[in-house]
């Protein structure tokens, strides 16, 4: 199974970030090729699924498991999928999802809405700190209809300072959410890219030559566990400070520029939960019963 493509679910919080779930994307040509499926040991129960469908399944699995969350962010592959947006709205979870300039938004496309931004509607804010300092852009937000009661939908627009390139996001947020809040969530999506880079360097995310469905999942699962463990160790060692921390506080340049009111009124900070959630939890004692299963396979060509 060469040139494999994985879909990953990341988690970003106050003390760091990690990858918490994965799915192997099986192209439609593979899904309908019985010879390929047999050679790669793809289970009979696995059918073709789009990347957004795989992403939604992982997201719902995490939410059903009680993973604490406040927002969901994603790139345009997932932002364009209405099923993901509807699922989050049903659960009353805020989202900031990127879309392409051709994304339909009545009465035209999102790019047609740019001319509706007033001259004073752009605000320079930081989407978080990068390797070269604060990631500063000009931002604007235009509300539109269709949100559940107590919520607001909007089109968030990011304008790059150098060449004016535009990036668009569809948002759904509770009443009281500020523009700075939306910008912070949009910037949190970069933690996925950082997670990929760090996991490749530290735990060998891309260092495999597997030829089977099971082999890919074994390798990636162990990598995710190791990366999550290192995230917890790093937080314990440095107290959650440094580039991996997402504490929601804007950087100094951001605070200096964030002088204008946001498109949405400010959302009060939620009460801090009493429970302390752990990204990695190890069993103190082995289970009393259970049979030992070997990882070896009877087929020597299967890896």
Share of the chain above pLDDT 90, in %: 69
- Rounded to whole angstroms, the Cα distance separating 201 from 231 reads 14
Q: Rounded distance, CA 166 to CA 160, Å? A: 7
Instruction: Look at residues 271, 263, 268, 269 and name the one whose alpha carbon lies nearest to residue 152.
Output: 263
Q: Quick one: the chain helix, strand, coil %, rounded to 5?
A: 35, 25, 45
What is the C-alpha to C-alpha distance for residues 104 and 168, in angstroms, rounded to an integer? 12
Q: Which pLDDT score is estimated for 104?
A: 97
pLDDT of amino acid 3: 64
What sections of 26-81 are H helices per DSSP? 28-31, 34-39, 51-64, 76-79
The burial class, CB within 10 Å (0-12 / 13-18 / 19+), for 171 is: buried
Task: State the pLDDT at residue 182.
Answer: 98
**CA–CA gap between residue 153 and residue 175 (Å, rounded):** 10
Given a cut of 50, the residues of the chain with pLDDT beneath it are: 242-280, 282-303
pLDDT of residue 238: 79
Residue 219's pLDDT is 95
Domains and CATH numbers, the chain: 5-257 (3.90.350)
According to DSSP, the residues that pair with 24 across neighbouring strands are 6
Q: Note the pLDDT of residue 237.
A: 87
Q: How far apart are CA 233 and CA 230, in angstroms?
A: 5
Task: Identify the pLDDT of residue 117.
Answer: 97
| pLDDT of the residue at 2 | 58
Whether the CB-CB separation of 303 and 215 falls below 8 Å is answered with yes
187-to-22, 87, 183, 191, 255 alpha-carbon distances in Å: 22, 22, 6, 8, 16
Question: How many helices and strands in the chain, by DSSP H and E?
Answer: 9, 10
H or E element at residue 239: none
Give the whole-angstrom CA distance, residue 236 versus residue 230: 10
- Rounded to whole angstroms, the Cα distance separating 38 from 40 reads 5
- Residue 14: per-residue pLDDT: 83
pTM exceeding the 0.75 threshold for the entire prediction: yes
Query: So what's the pLDDT on residue 214?
Result: 94
Neighbours of 132 (CB within 10 A): 6
Contacts 24+ apart (CB under 8 A), 183-187: 183/125, 183/126, 183/127, 183/139, 183/156, 184/127, 184/128, 184/248, 184/250, 185/71, 185/73, 185/94, 185/96, 186/73, 186/96, 186/98, 186/127, 186/156, 186/158, 187/126, 187/127, 187/128, 187/135
> What tokens does 273 get?
């939960």
The pLDDT, as a whole number, for residue 108 is: 96
């Amino acid at each position: 199974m060469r040139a494999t493509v994985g879909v990953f679910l990341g988690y970003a919080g106050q003390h760091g970030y990690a990858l918490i779930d994965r799915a192997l994307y099986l192209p439609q040509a593979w899904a309908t090729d019985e010879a390929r499926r047999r050679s790669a040991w793809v289970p009979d129960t696995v059918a073709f699924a789009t990347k957004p469908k795989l992403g939604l399944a992982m997201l719902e699995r995490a939410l059903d498991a009680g993973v604490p969350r406040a927002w969901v962010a994603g790139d345009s592959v997932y932002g364009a999928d209405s099923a993901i947006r509807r699922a989050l709205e049903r659960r009353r979870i805020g989202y900031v999802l990127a879309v392409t300039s051709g994304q339909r938004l009545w009465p035209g496309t999102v790019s047609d809405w740019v001319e509706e931004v007033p001259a004073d509607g752009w605000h320079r804010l930081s989407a978080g700190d990068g390797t070269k300092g604060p990631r500063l852009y000009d931002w604007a937000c235009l509300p539109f209809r269709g949100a559940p009661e107590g919520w607001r939908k909007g089109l968030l627009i990011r304008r790059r300072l150098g060449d004016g390139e535009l990036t668009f996001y569809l948002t759904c947020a509770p009443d009281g959410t500020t523009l700075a809040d939306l910008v912070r969530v949009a910037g949190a999506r970069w933690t996925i890219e950082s997670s990929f880079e760090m996991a490749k360097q530290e735990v060998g995310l891309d260092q495999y030559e597997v030829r089977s469905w099971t082999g890919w999942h074994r390798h990636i699962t162990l990598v995710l566990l190791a990366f999550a463990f290192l995230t917890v160790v790093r937080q314990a060692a440095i107290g959650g400070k440094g580039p991996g921390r997402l504490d929601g506080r804007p950087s100094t340049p951001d605070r200096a520029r964030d002088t204008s009111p946001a498109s949405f009124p400010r959302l009060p900070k939620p009460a801090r939960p009493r429970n302390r959630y752990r990204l990695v939890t190890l069993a103190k004692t082995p289970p009393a019963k259970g049979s030992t299963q070997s990882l070896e396979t009877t087929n020597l060509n299967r890896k």
